[in-house]
Structure 1
């Protein structure tokens, strides 16, 4: 079994690709395991969301999305929302609950889709609950344990681990021997970088 730590944020369009790579790799090779760690790119995004254009020039966003859409097309990813960003704190905590329930990959797939294909505000409880319902989670229990602070320790541990590893961009894949891969490319090349 080869284990990887993956630092990722649902608000990151590149992380949607990184997640898709990890999912495909685990389907191809059951001896590979990915452990996803929550990484909030911007914890200060207000509940109503904000525009990327407030901090990144429009031309730069458009240029980045040309590459993102090219890489994402290999996995059938849809990027309709290219300018709105949302606070992912609640979503990360719900994903930790989904992980405990054995449904992380299903939950994460719906979460990325909600943000980038549907442009939904994942800072809202009703949106996160809808994602949870789609994958068969007990959303009453999910919200209760989140509100009780059950995942605060895991969130803090992930933050500390990100600092310890010097994470500066996401997604970052770290193999158990310390090798790290951050630059996304097409699947076969990325797989070679990751495994060789």
Structure 2
């Protein structure tokens, strides 16, 4: 069963939501039959990459907050992240447009490494304070993910996977995603936000029960013949 997750690298609740969903998935008995696909979403497509600019200054300007209130908000989010085992260093976060980061993930998905790419991006942005719009940083993350550096460089230097990013953003509108993280299970059920693991687990159980009825596991018909068993008996 497919679970699609719309996300943006600059969204602190997306990383927190990832951890909470992973905890639910670890408790789900049919987790080996779940296929996760990360989908692109941009909270601010017009954002300019500004290395050296404080994320609190950016939030204060764009949200109309005072700098003190912006700092209170990021401190609160940092504490929430700590509760799920994540280390946020928001004071180091680089104000960066996420479009190329999404192209990076789209490329990683073609290699079966979408989840690994998302993890690398989140850690780079929220923990390590790296510029996730910088191509050299993305190539470094790609290498850590297991991607071919030269192939990734060609992708980033061109426009490949731009259409895939835009398609995901368009699809988000169609499924009702107005913010991220946004989880869609089997295109029937949606969970919005970084919900508690219990909520994710309940959604997994309900959607999987219905999916399994429509997609039953194949039954094997056996024809017995001469064979050996692990205990060494051959007959």
Instruction: Sort the TM-score into its range (normalised by shorter chain).
Output: 0.7 to 0.9
Q: Secondary structure at the match of 2:36?
A: strand
Deviation at 1:75, TM superposition (A): 3.3
| Shift in alpha-carbon separation, 1:91–1:177, aligned structure 2, 3 A | closer
Q: Which residue of the partner structure matches residue 32 of structure 1?
A: 34
| Shift in alpha-carbon separation, 1:38–1:65, aligned structure 2, 3 A | farther
1:185 to 2:170 alignment = no
Q: Which residue of the partner structure matches residue 18 of structure 1?
A: 17
Whole-Å separation in 2 of the counterparts to 1:162 and 1:145: 24
User: Structure 1: any 5+ residue segments left out of the alignment?
Assistant: none
| Shift in alpha-carbon separation, 1:74–1:33, aligned structure 2, 3 A | farther
Whole-Å separation in 2 of the counterparts to 1:60 and 1:179: 34
Whole-Å separation in 1 of the counterparts to 2:34 and 2:115: 14
Deviation at 1:79, TM superposition (A): 1.0
Q: Is the 8 A contact 1:23 1:105 kept in 2?
A: no
Q: Secondary structure at the match of 1:86?
A: coil
The within-5 A match list for 1:93-132 is 93-132=103-142
Q: Which residue of the partner structure matches residue 8 of structure 1?
A: 7
| Shift in alpha-carbon separation, 1:164–1:174, aligned structure 2, 3 A | same
Indicate the structure (1 or 2) with the bigger Cα radius of gyration: 2
Report the TM-score, using the length of structure 1 for normalisation: 0.86
Deviation at 1:180, TM superposition (A): 1.3
Moved more, 112-121 or 132-141: 132-141
What CA RMSD, in Å, does the superposition of the two structures yield over aligned residues? 2.3
Whole-Å separation in 2 of the counterparts to 1:131 and 1:117: 14
Q: Which residue of the partner structure matches residue 87 of structure 2?
A: 78
Moved more, 27-36 or 107-116: 27-36
Q: Which residue of the partner structure matches residue 135 of structure 1?
A: 145
User: Structure 2: any 5+ residue segments left out of the alignment?
Assistant: 207-235
| Cα deviation 1:93-124 (Å, max 9, x = unaligned) | 11111111122222211110111111111111
Deviation at 1:87, TM superposition (A): 1.0
Whole-Å separation in 2 of the counterparts to 1:46 and 1:64: 20
Q: Pick the aligned partner of 1:171 from 175, 181, 192.
A: 181
Q: Which residue of the partner structure matches residue 43 of structure 1?
A: 45
1:54 to 2:61 alignment = yes
| Shift in alpha-carbon separation, 1:98–1:188, aligned structure 2, 3 A | same
| Cα deviation 1:39-84 (Å, max 9, x = unaligned) | 0111212132552222132425524642x33442343111112565
| Shift in alpha-carbon separation, 1:117–1:182, aligned structure 2, 3 A | same
Whole-Å separation in 2 of the counterparts to 1:179 and 1:4: 10
Size of the alignment, in residue pairs? 194
Deviation at 1:27, TM superposition (A): 4.6
